[in-house]
Amino acid sequence: MEVEKKFLRFSSFLLVIFLIFSAVGCGPSGVDRKAQDEAEREEQRKLLQEAEPSLPALPTKDAAGNDFSDIPRPPKSFRLSSDLKQEGGQSYGTVQYVSTATLEELKSFYQKELTGKGFKTTRTLEQSIKGLPGALLGFESGEVRVDVEFEEGKTQKNEKFYYVKLKRFLKL
């Protein structure tokens, strides 16, 4: 439960960062851009310090829930949460894992597995939060879109891991 709360807080932080970046350049005319930029950077620094992803320790078993039937779970992982729904015989929703595989192993795994199942890569984004690596991969096949998000975290004992969030969408 604590992990889910921290993840929700971190997800909220990412939304705030997105909104901040979306609003850059939208301020009233005549505002000192340098001062405004510095204020925004300071606010981002504060938010990043509060939202550093960490766990007390790595999980040793899966949390309750289900995995997607057509999207493989990451290697060296445990499920943190599962929010799956059904529509017309198709599942959609989000499943989140913690994996001790490296970022390159995880990205290669999903590129190979999903393209091998007929998915086409639609986007690749490298991202860094608080100097920690992360990435987003997007795939599509027919009426299904899949996003795979990777975000580095560390336990309180400084063990490195990746949050892996699988999101499956149905195109309507």
Q: What is the pLDDT of residues 118-157, one digit of tens each?
A: 999 999 988 765 566 788 999 999 999 999 999 998 888 8
Domain with CATH 3.40.1000 in the chain: 55-170
Given the candidates 3.40.1000, 1.10.10, 2.30.30, 1.20.120, the CATH classification of the domain at 55-170 is 3.40.1000
Both tokens of 57, joined, read: 């320790």
pLDDT at 85 over 70: yes
What span, in angstroms and rounded, lies between the C-alpha atoms of 139 and 153? 24
**Does the pTM exceed 0.75?**
no
Rounding to the nearest 10 degrees, give the CA dihedral for residues 149, 79, 52, 135.
-20
149, 171 in Cβ contact below 8 A?
A: no
More confident position, 137 or 57? 137
152, 53 in Cβ contact below 8 A?
A: yes
Q: How many helices (H) and strands (E) does the chain have?
A: 3, 7
CB atoms near residue 36 (< 10 Å): 14
The DSSP secondary-structure symbol of 72 reads: P
Please classify residue 33 by burial: count the beta carbons closer than 10 Å to its beta carbon, then call 0-12 exposed, 13-18 middle and 19+ buried: exposed
**Model pLDDT, residue 89:** 83
What span, in angstroms and rounded, lies between the C-alpha atoms of 148 and 129? 17
The DSSP secondary-structure symbol of 37 reads: H
Residues 89-116 have pLDDT tens digits of 888 999 999 999 999 999 999 999 999 9
**Model pLDDT, residue 20:** 52
